[in-house]
Amino acid sequence: MNIIGPDTLVFGVDDVVSCNDYLSDYGLITVAADDKGGRFEALDGTGIEIAHRDDPALPQGMATANMLRKTIYGVADAETLDAIANELRKDREVKTLPDGSIESVDDMDFVLGFQVTKRRTLNLPAETINAPGAPAQRGANIVAVSDNADLTPRSLSHVVYFVPDSAKAAAFYSERLGFRVTDEFEGVGPFMQPAGTLDHHTLFLIQTPPFMKGCEHFTFHMSGPTAVMQAGTRFVEKGYQSFWGPGRHRFGSNWFWYFNSPLGCHVEYDADMDLHDHTWAARHVPMAADATQLFLFQHRDKWAPGGPPPGAADKAH
């Protein structure tokens, strides 16, 4: 099935205004925002929708603290949409909504939507590097960094679920929707890729106790690692709390920086994810700190030569 990846994540939240402000400050484009909700998009039109948790238009929430109400996947064409509907109707209800999309649930009760993708095609340069022994990607007198760089996220990358049974959850996506496992943390859960993308994953499943079931984080692709670092630094300077990063993952190789959020989950910036086709052999390793990241930085205030060493004030106290 030619599923491309998540087009939109829909949240039902306690504090609409704070969530709207958060997503705007994160760097998404504000399409609509008021005290009832909002829509915030990346450059390709993928995005996040916010509504108050009591909004009757939302799908029913879970009996946990989870605020994610729906993951809407973009598919390549109407034929794929029909194939998904026919497959899921074998054992569960599938609704056809007024906009032509369909809605159902997975085996963990996450609400899923499917629509012919509304993503816009991007034609933008990526971050470039110069390295000895390789042709220059930036010519003479072209400066790599700018205080005024465009840090708008480019595309909704992936979503991560806490699930009480990762094997059962993974079987639904692989057997019913054509996802495949690209890598796996043994005893924890797999990274999964739908057929319509080469991205290392658009879904990651993490085994947890049932009371934790919900969205752990979502992320958007940036133009490169410098954009991750620059956008994350800007976010910290606006008062938002860093949770994990910046650093670089091993599985997927993507650069990352996670932040706490009022959406009941973490929100990440990422960049430079590995691409894999059907010839890739999935890796299976135990979960450990060394397995999740190649390296990890820690944000500190800027420092210049001649001043106290970074962290000196912390050590003094």
pLDDT at 109 (0 to 100): 97
Domains of the chain from N-terminus onward: 3-120+153-296 (3.10.180.10)
Q: What's the confidence (pLDDT) of residue 97?
A: 97
Cβ–Cβ < 8 Å for 70, 9: yes
Burial class of residue 265 in the structure, from the number of CB atoms within 10 Å of its CB (0-12 exposed, 13-18 middle, 19+ buried)? buried
pLDDT attached to residue 288: 86
> pLDDT for 178-204, tens place per residue?
999 999 999 999 999 999 999 999 999
Distance, CA of 21 to CA of 235 (rounded, Å): 12
pLDDT of residue 289: 82
What pLDDT does 317 receive? 46
Residue 128 makes CB contacts below 8 A (sequence gap 6+) with: 137, 138, 144
Residue 210, preceding bond cis, omega within 30 degrees? no
DSSP 83: H
pLDDT on residue 17: 98
Q: What pLDDT is recorded for position 170?
A: 98
Determine phi and psi for 17, rounding to 5 degrees. Answer: -65, -45
Helices (DSSP H) in 70-165: which residue ranges?
78-88
Query: Any bridge partners for residue 269, and if so which?
Result: 220, 257
Contact of 99 with 83, CB cutoff 8 Å: no
Where helices occur in the chain by DSSP H, the ranges are: 16-26, 78-88, 166-177, 225-237, 289-292, 312-316
pLDDT block averages, 10 residues each, the chain of length 317: 97 98 98 97 98 97 96 98 98 97 98 98 95 94 94 98 98 98 96 98 97 97 97 97 95 97 98 97 91 83 76 55
- For 173-218, the DSSP string reads HHHHH--EEEEEEETTEEEEE-TT--BS-SEEEEE--GGG-EEEEE
pTM (global) more than 0.85: yes
Residue type, 13: V
